[in-house]
Structure 1
Amino acid sequence: MYKPVARKVRPVATNITEDDRVKINIPPDFEDDLPQVPFSAPAFEPGERLTQARLDELDLDPDKLLNDEERKILVAVIRQNELALAFDETEKGVVDPDIVPPVKIPVVEHTPWHHRNIPIPAAIKKDVLRLLQDKVDSGLYEPSSAGYTSKWFAVAKKQKGQYRIVHDLQPLNGVSARNPGGLPQIDAFVGELSGKACIGTLDHFSGFDQVWLAVESRDFTTFETELGRLRHTRLPQGGTNSCVVFHYIVVAIVGRDGKVYVDDTFIPGPDSTYDDEPIPENPKVRRFVYEYLVKLNRVLSRVGKAKMTISARKMAPIRRTAEVLGQEVSPEGRRVAKGKVEAIEKWSRCSTVSEVRSFLGIAGQARAWIPNYSAVVKPLTNLTRKGVVFDWGEEQQKAMDAVKQVVAQRTHLVELKYGEDMKPIKLGVDAGPLACGFWLGQDDEGGVTHVARYGSLPFNDREQAYSQAKRELYAIFRALKFFRHWLWGTRVIVLSDAMFIKGMLANPELPNSAMTRWLAYVMLFDLAVQHVKAKDNELADGLSRRPPQPDDVSVTDDEEWLTDRLEDLPSAGGSDETQNVDQTILEHSHSYSTSFTPDPSLLPTSEIEPVDLFSLLVDGGNVSSVSAGVGVEGSTIRTLSDEHQGVFDFLALGKKPAGVNDFASNKRFLKKASQYFVAGRALWRRGGIEGAGRLVVDEKGEQERLMGLAHEESGHKGVQATAQQLEKRYFWTSLWADVRSWIETCDACQKRERSSSEAMIRPTAPPDPFQRIGLDITYMPKALGRRYLVVVRDDLSGWVEARALKRKTARAVARFLVEDVLTRHGLPLQVTTDQGTEFKGVVDVLLNKYKVDITRTSPYNPRANGAVERGHGPLKEAIIHIARLLDVPWPQAVELACWIDRTTVRRQYGHSPFFLLHGHEPLLPLDLAGPLLIEKYQSILDDKAALAATVADRINRLASHQLVVNLARKAKTDARAISSAHRNLQESLVEPNFSPGQLVLIRNLKAIEIKKSEIKLQDTWHGPYKVVWQGINGGVHLSTLEGIALPSAFHPTHVKRYRPRIKALLQRDPATTTKDVVEKP
């Protein structure tokens, strides 16, 4: 029955408690008394349920797969497990409560519902009442007096005079806690059952009626009838969790030998018939049949032992071909079930949108066998769109006929076989101008390739603009990613009609950032590339050449922001080693082009000088597009340093530089000159990519231009990556140092830098008790309307005061300070808080009134208030444990948790906060835990002399209390100093000194803390700003470049130096860049 999605009643997304969890208890000895499958067929003896008459009714071998001996053994297996079969309602089983206790329906708090019932038609009323009475007699229904009432109605079955009761459980579903379990994915489920030598199908007899419903959940299912108010005793059909719960119950009971989908159990046979090899014990029984019967015997035995039952008349214990979830599985593979094919073929035309939806629904079940399914049915899906006028025309009829034609062929798809002796998996790939097509397959024992799956992915506009070589590599990357779950960890043979792919994978250079990532991903797989002729790659080729459809989803590598900046353009080159280049590679190796564009005027252009391989790779080998320079006579001589000019003059004109007169200087100069050569009136350093040479560039402007191209135009890579890219193509003496300086002054890199340094910590000495306190608020789970915990902790003693708050307001914090702190411990000298608004306003007025110093920590710097922040964890844990122990909400456990914290001995100075404040330890229940201790205290109270001595001792202790406080202060000060010194030794720590007028950046803390993609795309640092002054505690006060002061100080770890470039970058040459970039100093 069709129901719009908007009307679907969904369960509540909440956790299911331990009491409501479905418990399945399969004992370890569940199979200990498993009956054995006989090797020889015993004589049939009628049983309690399987009589001779009933056996004659059953068609146990409809495909005539068994011989007489094997059929008799099958009968013996069914006979010894007859209690797992049910022929009628009276024999229907119910699962053993010891294995599966009655199932509870988890619900949230709700109001009982009462819905009026749908009247029963008078013509069928008598039959329906008889059906209800039968269910009451069989125990499926029982009387109820609950305050719930659900609707129900009767529908006719296919058999005349037979009806089914349907219960409307939507009100119950709306208050039920959702079970997050799911059913198996159909494609994978059916695939695992295909390609087997045989298969068996079992159907549970009224499966849901075989699971008890817990008594406490039965009232939810109450409904009104003329027989009285009734309720379910078994798991109700239509319950939101019933399907998943029953599925996993059957999965546990059936065990490893069966594949379960709700109430249908399928038993797969062996992968092959072993060439009909017999078992040693009986030459009349084939091995594959006996192995299957062992699995069938185990499944039936487990079902019977759990006291559940299989429908005997629906059972197909062994088949060669079986229908599984709308697909037909057989040893050849899987294909669309015949019933589905007939239903599709009988469809003539559609007259309404509902009929179109119905046709697409049944045709969609066969989409795995229909190439380019979305494109084929596009004219039909257009009719289902909102606002489209229904018009069934020739285009729609052709689409329907195309679906019918493909489905009618009923071709097989095989399932891939894995194992030690598996055949390699074949992946056919082809990249067309609009999409990439691919298929997955495997050879059989005869060497014939069978297809398992196939698909295609459209290219977006940017991907369509790739060169052919780049598209071919991208197609392999996308195909491997699409099929990665089937290909990972196996041997893969990639079939492609592009010859250069093999060489590309064998020599993975660094063409550009995007292609490097594709190559890196491809090489994660164990694969070999095999070239096939285009005419032999028609399947992948056809899938790759269909035009993209409007509803296609273009799946990309999510790297558009980067790959848009990577241009497939050439690098400089020229050496004799590149003269003899394979023409095939030159035509297709566009993927080896570099990731940035050199100045064409820097390229060698002599007619006799060979062109570099990478120059030939642009635009499929169009040499003229990259030979932008001029000849020897017309070229411009570039400015060189004195050292390089001397080398150039020697190599080009034979002139030695001045000062090279003796043997030693001649030897040194010749050694240096041997590292260079001249081409195109330019000086080149030997080396580079494939020995093509590196152009010598000594002009500062040209150096900055190239560094800009290699860094800004190539994804802002680091020093090493940028310098290596340049070093392979260009040469100047200070290249690495210049690149490092260039990247350090890059505005974008400084603002995107993720790393940060930590500031050194300056330990503080604590004053007397409650002269310096820390104030903070922490979050707790909501209880009694309260979700905040305000905490004050003394810096020296660690004494804590806390209170649960409903709202995080300044007025509530001020009331807490007055009632729990100031009136108990007096006025503090200093209060440390963070920048929260709840610590301003009324709190400021209160503390300023009594001249209390307020120290506010900088944002995102909890260490500055560590005395109170560090104590949150233990205090909250104590509150939670006490609340659980006393079974009270956490706000009622705050006072007791604070008392426990105050009386806990501190490791630093060996006393509790209570002792440091009062001079003596408190009397605790632990002190009175033993009879001897009680007797001791009682004797002191009864003896006046002993009591007087105790009082005198207490007075002496109070006199020395200040000494204890001083020792505690020294211990805490020393501990802080040691901890700070150890931390300050770390390399990431810096002395946070900033001078006025210095340019700095401030950290974008939202981009660091908030895990949202749109936030993370923001710069990590903002600025630049000017330093106004730095406080004594390290806080940095800033202003904008216009002099407008920022409202609050910043922690030094959130500020870093900004390095501007001394002069602007030179304007990019329009011929070599896609965009002009000018960076201001």
Structure 2
Amino acid sequence: MGQGELEELRRQIDDMIDRGWIRPSESEFGAPVLFVLKKGGKLRMCIDYRGLNRITRKNAYPLPHIDDLLDAAGGCKVFSKIDLKSGYHQIEVDPSDQHKTAFKTRDGLYEFIVMPFGLTNAPATFQSLMDKVLRHQLNRFVVVYLDDILIFSKSMEEHVKHLEEVLQVLKDAQLHLNLEKYEFGRDNIIYLGHQLSVTGLEPKATKVEVIRNWPQPANVRELRSFLGLASYYQKFVPKFSVIAHPLSRLTSKNVAYAWCEKCETVFQALKEALVSHPVLRIADPNLTFVVTTDASQFGIGAVLQQDDGDGLCPLEYYSKRMPSHKVATSTYARKLYALREALTHWKQYLLGRHFKVYSDHQTLRWIKTQIDLSPTLTRWLHDIDVFDFELKHKKGCYNRVADALSRHPEYLTCLVDSYDLYRKLKEDLIEHIAKDPDLGPILEQLKADPNSQPDFHECDGLVFRRYGKFDRLCVPNHAPLRTHFLDLAHGRSGHFVFEKTYGSLLQQFNWPGMKGSAQKFIAEYQVCQRTKVHRHKPYGLLRPLPIPDGPGESVSIDFTDMGKVSTAGNSQVMVIVDCFSKFMNLIPLPPHAPAELVIEEFHQQYILQYGPPKTLDLHKVKGLYNNSIHSAAGVTPNQLQYGWPMRNPLSYLFSERSPGLMPDMPGYNAKYARLLKAVTAAMNKCQHAMIKHANKMRREEKFKVGDYVWVKMSEFSDEEGVSRKLLPLYYGPWQILKVIGDDFGPSYVIDVPPHLRTYPVFHASKLFPHIDDETFPFRDPMIPRPIDGGHEIDRTVSHEGRGRNKQYKVHFLYHPLNEFFWIDRKELLNSAPRVVNAYERQIADGQTAKFAAKLTPFGLNNTLLLIYAYDAFCTDSD
């Protein structure tokens, strides 16, 4: 700092110490000090609290919106403005936090006792205090923005009372005023950069003069500075964004800065438009709002107006650049975009009340007749649907504020039917509310006496229920209407979870049982069933096979691919394990062993045939396993199978471990029976512990033959060229044809279309129950829009005719289960050859469209069918 700044610093510190604002400190904090030159040439001391602000927990208390403050003064004629003296310094900092405000100077370290400028939470803290002090007067005849207080009234007599009340409240709160910055009893006043008067609202004259005298920008930085100041008052200028488009384009990164004659013309025109602004009226909530929109390839323009008896007067202008070239080149898209943006921008005025819209309503009529709209247009139309307005057409020659653009003639042929937006829906609501047994009497009472039902009110034949600050539309007991509103809240709003869907409904609608309706609507929504992750325990409780009474009664079989082929041509191993003793046998098999060979080897039971030991040493593997102690039995499989442990070279070093009774010795049978009993108890204990642990994360399945289920997409091979992220999580729904196995391990045969080429038996954990949407028959079809112009065929059901006249009855994927189509064979063969070939191959093999339990050919990795095949083999042999 220079000598002058040091002297000023000492003077200000001494002054703040005398006032009791700061004191010397010994804090571990220390923010730097700097000076900023004020308008009058004086220096203002500023403290750099950026480091402290980074570690401060933020206060989210909101500051008021300036437009809302200005709207509150609508229709008033007398104004006063009060400013607090050093407002922040009238609030004391909590003693436990005062050391954090410390700042360092050349003369020492000081800390604030009162709230300083520069703290991140200072504005929120001060605004909260002012709102609490003036809570009874706020928005009635007072608005406050930090330390700027505005008092407004409709007459001088009323204003004197308001002023006295406010001053008394401030006195009681011990808040001190700045007598140098007050204005009392004025018919016009400057507040927050705007001039308020009886006639309305206009920008501050000094700010506009700055724009008038602004020199030509020499670079992008100067141009952005000009556009920033001008855009602050864009609501006073019709088509601001359209006028400023050539200048805004120069600020883009990919455009070279080159000031041309056109830029100069636009620059001067924009300055003139800002200087010669119209005076805006302040909104009157008792008058009807009128919105007029316009759109061009450069941007959109709109004006919000009200008729006070002397014609339409502007309240605010709005303009915005087109978001993309795609929107700008589409007449329908830009007109819909203009309406959507205008309604969203002024939703604080328009939401929840009836108003008028002047626009090219032919565009909206055309959009309402289209079935396949783009996701963007659908989303915009949904945003518009929440507003209640009457759409009126205004020709371009009479639309002085927002000229309507000409319509393309070729689109007129798309008009199939035309109706005003909302008319049909509103007519249905009015009709069924009058007929509703609950709402009809309420409507009649409200028409006779609006105060007869304090919780309800009537508007244009509709009944609304009051909930706090919001009014909810009462929906009659009419299935199509309720289904429509449920679909708006869920199906057309992103398919969000129940909490978000129900929250959206609660903001707008009311009917008995709405929560249950929303839950059932979402549960039955086919799109959500097949695409969303289901947060529940997987189906299928663990049910181990029953423990046999002894060795040799039950065996389990599995197959293992060793990954290499031996010199004898074997690569598969059939593993046979006794379910009681866990005794294992291994049988080598060729890579593609036919069913007859497998059955023969299994029929011979424990007759082993080995290949050369160069690649497969089955004796060594079997011996190591059979002589290791099994965790469930507590003894080795050999000991349990034969009654004694197998000897090894170290057995005779321990005489107590030498074999005891042999099978032919007396007492062997009793000893072996005791061993079996002990092992059975140990295995039961181990099995119950395993079941208890596994079933903690599972749930019991409730599937039965005839039910329709979804099958996990992971059970099918990937589609060529399609990412798994773009596919649904479940395929189907398909019918359950048969339960495989018994109660100890249910799997299910599913009626999977044959062209999918997958084995149709699935465990319960891979299935999810299909919930039919029969509760909401008026729901819109949930058929996804085809990506490549066609719908995917699910299956072929039957056929009729021969030769050229042959037709197939097919079901399309995602279509209702009872919806079928007849298609010529030639046409079907061109579009879906795999479906046709799979069905015809099925017919040629003597099968129906249902799954036939044919045993051959089958893969070696399926033990269950092998056992069925073996049983059949044994029956035939007998």
What is the TM-score when the length of structure 1 is the normalising length?
A: 0.41
Q: What TM-score results when the alignment is normalised by the length of structure 2? A: 0.50
